Amino acid sequence: MADTGWPACSKSLKGVILDLCGVLYDSGECGGVAIPGSVEAVKKLKASDLQVRFCTNETQAARPAFVAKLQRLGFDISVSEVFSPAPASVAVLQDRGLRPHLLVYDGLLPEFENVDTTNPNCVVIGDAAEKFTYQNLNDAFRVLIELEKPVLISLGQGRYYKETDGLKLDVGVFMKALEYACDVKAEVIGKPSPLFFQSVLNNMGLQPHEALMIGDDLVNDVGGAQRCGMKGVQVRTGKYRPSDESHPTVTADGTVDDLAQAVDTILDQRR
């Protein structure tokens, strides 16, 4: 037990997966601010022999845009290291010969640049925010209801999130709306979907027990990674709440103050 628990498990690790928002930075006006110590922590991790990937449920912007934002905050990060639902959905679409009707935020459209959207045979929804108009929902509904076997792909299943001006309805709410309208079950791409975590492991060429997820979201980051066979550590930044430490169904393998402490603990064990 001592060898497999946190932080002893750090010895056998080959890769670490980091959530972005709430772990590296806090969102907010002016594009957000780096969480103290996190720029240095990413640098240390990448200087080690561990593989590093970033895994986010961000679906309002294409990767080049939000990676550039993180670089401006000082992070050593590149697009090829980042896994987000949109490119994962593109792989699924291409694999299954699906041509989507897209109901996503304009900023996300570049991710679908090379996808055939003519004569759609499925619907993909992301966090479209103000683009979730009655007309746009009705258009997506009409595509689905006309299909013999409706396919609805949702980039996440969140209920709501917090912005500086208050709570905002997230993509999961509109996924449920279309599910009910068409009597169909959506396929969710993004954390905590096991398929999504597996795609990151595949990219690193690692087995689940060789990887650790660090996130601020107990259910989607930590619980999702654990259901995949990985270890999951929660940071006390971002959307962390004290009640997470006595959650009824998810128990993190470890809880640390922030990314800096997580990385120091991992690297200490490996010396």
Residues binding its own copies (CB under 8 A):
129-135, 137-138, 141-142, 145, 159-160, 166-169, 172-174, 176-183
Q: Could you tell me how many residues make up the chain?
A: 271
Comparison of 135 and 246: residue with beta carbon closer to its own copies: 135
Burial of 18 (0-12, 13-18, 19+ CB in 10 A): buried
Comparison of 171 and 222: residue with beta carbon closer to its own copies: 171
DSSP helix/strand/coil, 115 = coil
Question: Least separation, in Å, of the C-beta of 145 and its own copies?
Answer: 6
Question: Least separation, in Å, of the C-beta of 132 and its own copies?
Answer: 4
Comparison of 163 and 268: residue with beta carbon closer to its own copies: 163
Comparison of 210 and 217: residue with beta carbon closer to its own copies: 217
Comparison of 51 and 57: residue with beta carbon closer to its own copies: 57
Angle at 20 between CA 32 and CA 44, to 5 degrees: 105
Give, for 40, the enclosing helix (H) or strand (E).
Answer: helix 38-47
Comparison of 181 and 267: residue with beta carbon closer to its own copies: 181
Which amino acid is it at 165? Answer: D
Question: Least separation, in Å, of the C-beta of 227 and its own copies?
Answer: 21
Nearest CA-CA partner of 36 in 25, 45, 20? 25
Question: Least separation, in Å, of the C-beta of 171 and its own copies?
Answer: 11
Question: Least separation, in Å, of the C-beta of 182 and its own copies?
Answer: 8
* Non-local CB neighbours of 60 within 8 Å, separated by 6+ positions: 105, 107, 108, 126, 127, 129
Look up residue 228 and give its DSSP letter: T
Which tokens go with 77? Answer: 């990060």
Question: Least separation, in Å, of the C-beta of 118 and its own copies?
Answer: 20
Angle subtended by helix axes 134-146 and 171-182, to nearest 10: 40
